[in-house]
Amino acid sequence: MNWNEAEPSQWVNDVSVRNIDHINILTWQWPRNIQYVYIAKVIEQEADIERSGRPLKLYTREEYKANAGYKDSVTSIGKIVYKVYPAIRKDGQMIVLDQQNQLNEVSPKTQKGKIFYSITYKKNWFSQQKTVRIKVRTEISLPKETLSYVKKTGSSPLNIEDGSVYSFVHDFDQGLSLLPDIQINKQDYIGLFFTNGKKDGEHYELIPE
């Protein structure tokens, strides 16, 4: 990739983003006589948004007009930063223009992945145990370490530390997951919580159904 420094007249300005149904839609002010841009996307915990080694997507002014902006599906959780570099074609080669400011950069509001769940009990009349069924419905795939269930005797657990903690065996696929039935004593109750409440709570929202 060939790089040059951008002149002020070549700067991309007024980059903004809005989210509709997990699609980020970017718009910006095109510089006069600039027909191409390269778009960089950086996800949280990756390296900072330096040009070196950053994957770039070519996007034309015609594509921008046809699509009323640039649309990007959100398939991950966490902070995203977009940077729009102006570009020119010279001697048959594309040259990316490095803009040494943040006028061409935007970070949309962090999207939290929604996790819906339900816990139901079925009494076994001729047994001292009851059956627990947990359903989890997620908008994205979820590592099994994200959630744990807690068992407590006498009342429902209030948090991850309020009882005995148990891990899940498999990751949660996007959509509905019906977990294997759990057998517990009739006096016991189950709660579903983030394993690491503070960290996971920044990226996900746990919602009872």
Answer whether residue 77 shows pLDDT above 90.
no
User: How many CB atoms are closer than 10 A to CB 59?
Assistant: 18
What DSSP assignment string belongs to the chain? -EEEEPPGGG--EEEEEEEETTEEEEEEEPPTT--EEEEEEEETTS--S-STT--EEEEEHHHHHHHTSEEEE--S-S-EEEEEEEEEEETTEEEEEE--SSTTEE-PPPPPEEEEEEEEEEE-TTSSEEEEEEEEEESS-B-GGGEEEEEEESS---STTSSEEEE-SSPBPSEEEEPPPEEEETTEEEEEEESSHHHHHTTEEEEE-
| Nearest CA-CA partner of 34 in 83, 90, 92, 100 | 90
Domain span(s) for CATH 2.60.40.10 in the chain: 2-106
pTM exceeds 0.85, yes or no: no
C-beta separation of 206 from 115 below 8 A: yes
State residue 43's pLDDT score. Answer: 76
Answer whether residue 80 shows pLDDT above 80.
yes
Task: With cut-offs at 50, 70 and 90, classify the pLDDT of residue 45.
Answer: low
Q: Report the distance separating Cα 67 and Cα 47, nearest Å.
A: 30
Least confident piece of the model among 56-60, 111-115, 191-195: 111-115
Least confident piece of the model among 29-43, 56-70, 100-114, 187-201: 100-114
CATH class, range 113-208: mainly beta
Name the CATH superfamily for 2-106.
Immunoglobulins (2.60.40.10)
